[in-house]
C-alpha cells in the first residue's frame, strides 16, 4: 500500500489509528489495521482490488461525522479515507451541474460556486465538516431540503468503485435519463461499503438576491422541535408566497 500511496498515505501506528476508531457516535469504537488515503480513482480501485485479493475487509470514510457508526471497521482491516480526494473538478453554470470528488466538504462546494451566484442546497448542520460522499451514503439534508429536497434530489451521476475494484459510471449529467435509475435507489442512502463513490455530478442552485429575507421568513415560520418526539411545522402557503 505504501508503494501505491507513498509513506504518508498509510497509517498503521495504533496511536494514529485511534483517531479513526469511531464517528460522531462515540459510543461505538473499532480499530482498523490500516487507514489509507487515496488521491485518485485509480488508487481506490487498486486498494479495493488488493483488499479483495488478500481477503481484507474495507470500509469508506468521509469526515467521520456520521451518527450511525457506518464508517467503523467493525472487523478490522482497511479504512479508506476519501479526505484527500476533495476537488471540485468542473462546474457547468448554464446547466447548474458540478462534478466533484467524494471527499469535498459540503460547504466548500457552496464556497466554490458562490462567487458566480450559486450554492449547493442540502445543508446538514455538520456541513462545515461532512463530505459529499458521506452525504450521499446517508442521504443527508438540512433546512434547505424542506424546499429543494435532500441529497438524492441533487445527484445525477456517480462514478463508483465496485467491490471487485471495477470502476463504473452510473447516471450522467442529465436529469431524468432513460433506462434504470441505478443512482438514486440502490446507492444513495445505502450506508453500506459495497461501493465507493469516486466522482459525482451534483446540482447547484442559484442564490437569490433576497436570500436574507427568505431566511428571516423561514426562521419565523418554521417552529423547531424541542425533542425527538416533536415535529417541524411550516406553512406551505407562506413558503409558496416567498418562492419568487
Ligand atoms: C454535529 C452534527 C450535526 C449533524 N447534522 C446533520 C443534519 O443536519 N442532517 C443530516 O442528515 N445529518 C447530520 N449529521 C450526520 C452526518 O454529518 C451526516 O450523516 C453526514 O452526511 C456524514 O458525512 P461524513 O463525510 O462525515 O461521512 P462518514 O461519517 O465518514 O461516513 C458516513 C457513511 O458514509 C459512507 N461513506 C463515506 N464516504 C463514502 C464514499 N466516498 N463512498 C461510499 N461510502 C462512503 C461511510 O462508509 C459511512 O457508512 C450530523 C452530525 C453531527 C456530528
Mind listing the domains of the chain with CATH numbers?
A: 2-81 (3.30.43.10), 88-206 (3.30.465.10), 211-242 (no CATH)
Q: Which amino acid residue places its CA nearest to atom 27 of ligand 1?
A: 134
Q: What is the mean pLDDT of residues 153-173?
A: 85
Looking at residue 153, what is its pLDDT?
Answer: 85
DSSP string, 81-122: E-TT---EEEEETTTTEEEE-TT-BHHHHHHHHGGGTEE---
Please state, in angstroms and rounded to a whole number, the distance separating the CA atoms of residues 91 and 193: 28
Q: How far is the CA of 210 from the centre of ligand 1 (A)?
A: 30
Confidence of residue 184 (pLDDT cuts 50, 70, 90): low
Distance set, CA 59 to CA 62, 78, 132 (Å): 10, 6, 16
Cell numbers placing 240: 409558496
Span from the CA of 244 to the centroid of ligand 1 (angstroms):
32
Assign 183 a pLDDT band (cuts: 50, 70, 90).
confident
Dihedral sign for Cα atoms in the order 103, 109, 111, 113: positive
Q: What is the pLDDT of residues 114-138, one digit of tens each?
A: 999 888 999 999 999 999 999 998 9
Cell of 88: 471540485
pLDDT of residue 160: 87
Ligand 1 center to 238 CA (angstroms): 31
- Rounded CA-CA distance 36/39 in Å is 10
> Best substitution site from 36, 38, 60 to test ligand 1's pocket, by max atoms within 8 Å of Cβ?
60
> Given this model, what pLDDT does residue 163 score?
85
Ligand 1 atom closest to 85 (CA)? 41
Amino acid at each position: 500500500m505504501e508503494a501505491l500511496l507513498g509513506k504518508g498515505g498509510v497509517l498503521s501506528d495504533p496511536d494514529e489509528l485511534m483517531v479513526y476508531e469511531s464517528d460522531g457516535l462515540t459510543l461505538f469504537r473499532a480499530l482498523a489495521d490500516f487507514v489509507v488515503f487515496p488521491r485518485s480513482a485509480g488508487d481506490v480501485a487498486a486498494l479495493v482490488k488488493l483488499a479483495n485479493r488478500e481477503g481484507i475487509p474495507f470500509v469508506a470514510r468521509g469526515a467521520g461525522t456520521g451518527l450511525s457508526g457506518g464508517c467503523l471497521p467493525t472487523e478490522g482491516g482497511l479504512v479508506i479515507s476519501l479526505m484527500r480526494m476533495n476537488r471540485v473538478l468542473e462546474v457547468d453554470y448554464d446547466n447548474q451541474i458540478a462534478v466533484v470528488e467524494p471527499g469535498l466538504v459540503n460547504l466548500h462546494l457552496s464556497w466554490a460556486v458562490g462567487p458566480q451566484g450559486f450554492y449547493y442546497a442540502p445543508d446538514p448542520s455538520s456541513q462545515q465538516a461532512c463530505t459529499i460522499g458521506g452525504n450521499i451514503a446517508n442521504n443527508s439534508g438540512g433546512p434547505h431540503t424542506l424546499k429543494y429536497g435532500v441529497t438524492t434530489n441533487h445527484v445525477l451521476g456517480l462514478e463508483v468503485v465496485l467491490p471487485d475494484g471495477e470502476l463504473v459510471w452510473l447516471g450522467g449529467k442529465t436529469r431524468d435519463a432513460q433506462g434504470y435509475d441505478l443512482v438514486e435507489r440502490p446507492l444513495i442512502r445505502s450506508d453500506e461499503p459495497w461501493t465507493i463513490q469516486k466522482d459525482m455530478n451534483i446540482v447547484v442552485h442559484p442564490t437569490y438576491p433576497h436570500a436574507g429575507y427568505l431566511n428571516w421568513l423561514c426562521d419565523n415560520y418554521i417552529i423547531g422541535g424541542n425533542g425527538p418526539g416533536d415535529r417541524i411545522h411550516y406553512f406551505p402557503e407562506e413558503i409558496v408566497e416567498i418562492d419568487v
